[in-house]
Amino acid sequence: MNENLYARMRSVFDQHGSRDALRLPGGGGWSYEVLDAAAGRAAAVLRGYGVRPGDRVLAQVDKHPESLALYLGCLQSGAVYVPLNTAYTHAEVAYFIEDAQPRLFVHREGDSLGDVSCVCASIGAGATGSFSTAMSRSGPSRDVAQRGAEDLAAIVYTSGTTGRSKGAMLSHGNLSSNADSLREAWGWRDDDVLLHALPIFHVHGLFIALHCALLGGTPIVFLERFDAREVLAHLPEITVMMGVPTFYTRLLALAELDAEQVRGVRVIISGSAPLTEQTFGEFEHRTGQRILERYGMSETIINTTNPLVGERVAGSVGFALPGVEMRITDEAGSELPCGEVGAIEVRGENVFSGYWRNPEKTAEDIRANGFFITGDLGMMDRQGRLRIVGRAKDLVISGGYNIYPKEVEACIDEMAGLVESAVIGIPHPDFGEGVVALVVGDNRMIEEQQVLDYLSDRLARFKQPKRVINVAQLPRNAMGKVQKNELRQQYSGLFED
């Protein structure tokens, strides 16, 4: 049996060829038949570039239908898809090329790449670019590469606390089984219409949202980015929306949002960062919809979800999905009783097989018994509902994106005239958290703008601090460790209105 995820998609697409797959803003769109043919053309072009099953294809591409066809073409041809955040700078991309050793790097039309040590092709909006042109000249391949459940489908890079990104290896089986669990948990229906305003370089937009719709052969309202007004205008035509908490706070900022707009919406789902009880409450008050919060990560796709039918509790991320085992452990790795805070560990078909070319980190994070130590801290109640209480590491999540302070600090510390820095996340009404850098100058004041200018071409925009503050020294404990909790407390009101 072919366990290639695309083999399953193909049988759905064959069945529902005339249905809308992608509905594009301003009218028009792609049917499932058209999407399947485009994926087949992308697969043929990939083979033309010499991409064979197991080869990595690195992609830093904008969100448009051809980019989705590229992802599906990779699945179909057995290549390993490696999506990159579009905000990454050239220096950052060079690291991913070095690490992933891709057969092909597909980038945006017009990107000036500098020295790139691999074969490149471009995809552009409106089907410009060398890859798109080759697609338009190619016939669609119907061949779906033979893959087993364990074979890799994608490598998703997560930022590392040491500044080096780690590639989470996800197999066809991981993606397929998690999509099935989600379609069941969220009661996917034949008449569902998904609103998709998420980026497609992250598990949330690429796997969680898209796979639910693609494996159902149901339409996707495919928006290039999140724009609150545009999303509001589309709400009356959709039944399911998936987003990050920032989407919902931005929608709430629009006076027009009310129950009328979401009358036909069956479920509104939130994840990738904590949804505050305030946003949950305000959204219900304004629209009558109780947002369904779920919890996942690049390494495991989705772990837990609030129930579709039954109580959705604000501040809780719900129950482990069927097939996912979850436990809370102490520092020694022993299981803790209900109600106690500890490390969240998960095991199941959803859990990745390890970090790409990083057996040490894999061995550190995946126990011999198969449990993955997520790096999050939480507590479970008697019914099995999970609450996330914090991150074991000092990850900052701003606008749904993860920012690892260490990476930003390392970059700032290279600046002349600067002794050291500490980067923290401070509650922010729009982004969830805002990145703040505390800097210690070398006997002089460091201008905020000077630091921001310095970082502008060294770090992706979403990682750049929203505020830079001069301090005389950083608070340290007896062991010399910077006390970030103290700093977070001291500056907690920085972004308050």
Query: Measured between alpha carbons, how far is 241 from 265 in angstroms, rounded to an integer?
Result: 8
Among 218, 305, 402, 421, binds ligand AMP (CB under 6 A): 402
Q: Where are the alpha helices (DSSP H) in 49-110?
A: 65-77, 90-100
Query: Measured between alpha carbons, how far is 269 from 245 in angstroms, rounded to an integer?
Result: 9
Q: What's the closest the beta carbon of residue 296 comes to ligand AMP, in angstroms?
A: 6
> Using CB under 6 A, which of the segments 43-51, 69-77, 209-217, 289-297 binds ligand AMP?
289-297
Considering the complex, state which of residue 109 and residue 293 has its C-beta at the smaller distance from ligand AMP.
293
Query: Measured between alpha carbons, how far is 118 from 101 in angstroms, rounded to an integer?
Result: 8
Among 29, 173, 274, 342, binds ligand AMP (CB under 6 A): 274
Q: How many residues bind ligand AMP (CB under 6 A)?
A: 18
Query: Is residue 407 near ligand AMP by the rule CB under 6 A?
Result: no
Among 65, 83, 271, 434, binds ligand AMP (CB under 6 A): 271
Considering the complex, state which of residue 42 and residue 426 has its C-beta at the smaller distance from ligand AMP.
426
Instruction: Count Cα neighbours of 284 within 13 Å in the Cβ-side half-sphere.
Output: 12
Query: Is residue 208 near ligand AMP by the rule CB under 6 A?
Result: no
What is the DSSP code (8-state) at residue 497?
-
Q: What are phi and psi of 59, to 5 degrees?
A: -135, 120
Among 90, 108, 391, 484, binds ligand AMP (CB under 6 A): 391
Considering the complex, state which of residue 203 and residue 212 has its C-beta at the smaller distance from ligand AMP.
203
Query: Measured between alpha carbons, how far is 72 from 76 in angstroms, rounded to an integer?
Result: 6
Considering the complex, state which of residue 218 and residue 298 has its C-beta at the smaller distance from ligand AMP.
298
Angle 132-171-63 from CA coordinates, rounded to 5°: 30
Considering the complex, state which of residue 246 and residue 298 has its C-beta at the smaller distance from ligand AMP.
298
> Using CB under 6 A, which of the segments 39-47, 269-277, 352-360, 379-387 binds ligand AMP?
269-277
Among 85, 132, 249, 272, binds ligand AMP (CB under 6 A): 272
* C-alpha of 108 from chain center: 20
Considering the complex, state which of residue 158 and residue 218 has its C-beta at the smaller distance from ligand AMP.
158
CB atoms within 10 A of CB 461: 10
Considering the complex, state which of residue 41 and residue 463 has its C-beta at the smaller distance from ligand AMP.
463
Beta strands in 13-164 (DSSP E): 20-23, 29-31, 56-60, 80-83, 104-108, 120-123, 152-158
Q: What's the closest the beta carbon of residue 281 comes to ligand AMP, in angstroms?
A: 16
Considering the complex, state which of residue 32 and residue 404 has its C-beta at the smaller distance from ligand AMP.
404
Beta strands in 79-165 (DSSP E): 80-83, 104-108, 120-123, 152-158
Query: Measured between alpha carbons, how far is 459 from 408 in angstroms, rounded to an integer?
Result: 8
Query: Is residue 367 near ligand AMP by the rule CB under 6 A?
Result: no
Query: Is residue 177 near ligand AMP by the rule CB under 6 A?
Result: no
Query: Is residue 203 near ligand AMP by the rule CB under 6 A?
Result: yes
Considering the complex, state which of residue 158 and residue 261 has its C-beta at the smaller distance from ligand AMP.
158
Considering the complex, state which of residue 221 and residue 273 has its C-beta at the smaller distance from ligand AMP.
273
Joined together, the tokens standing for residue 315 give 């501040």
Sketch the per residue contact string, 324 through 363, with ligand AMP: x for CB under 6 A, - otherwise: ----------------------------------------
Query: Measured between alpha carbons, how far is 193 from 36 in angstroms, rounded to an integer?
Result: 19
Query: Is residue 186 near ligand AMP by the rule CB under 6 A?
Result: no
State which of positions 110-169 bind ligand AMP (CB under 6 A). Answer: 158
Side chain identity, residue 73: G
Considering the complex, state which of residue 4 and residue 298 has its C-beta at the smaller distance from ligand AMP.
298
Considering the complex, state which of residue 180 and residue 376 has its C-beta at the smaller distance from ligand AMP.
376
CB atoms within 10 A of CB 143: 13
Q: Where are the alpha helices (DSSP H) in 192-294?
A: 203, 210-214, 228-234, 245-252, 277-287
Among 59, 170, 220, 388, binds ligand AMP (CB under 6 A): 388
Q: At what angle do helices 32-48 and 5-15 cross, to 10 degrees?
A: 140
The closest alpha carbon to 16, from 177, 215, 186, belongs to 215
Among 4, 141, 181, 298, binds ligand AMP (CB under 6 A): 298
Query: Is residue 268 near ligand AMP by the rule CB under 6 A?
Result: no
Q: Are 23 and 220 in contact (CB under 8 A)?
A: yes
Q: What's the closest the beta carbon of residue 295 comes to ligand AMP, in angstroms?
A: 4
CA distances from 194 to 32, 185, 221, 270, 278 (A): 15, 16, 6, 14, 25
Query: Is residue 85 near ligand AMP by the rule CB under 6 A?
Result: no
Query: Is residue 398 near ligand AMP by the rule CB under 6 A?
Result: no
> Using CB under 6 A, which of the segments 73-81, 184-192, 267-275, 328-336 binds ligand AMP?
267-275
* Binding-site ranges for ligand AMP (CB under 6 A): 158, 203, 271-274, 293, 295-298, 317, 374-376, 388, 391, 402
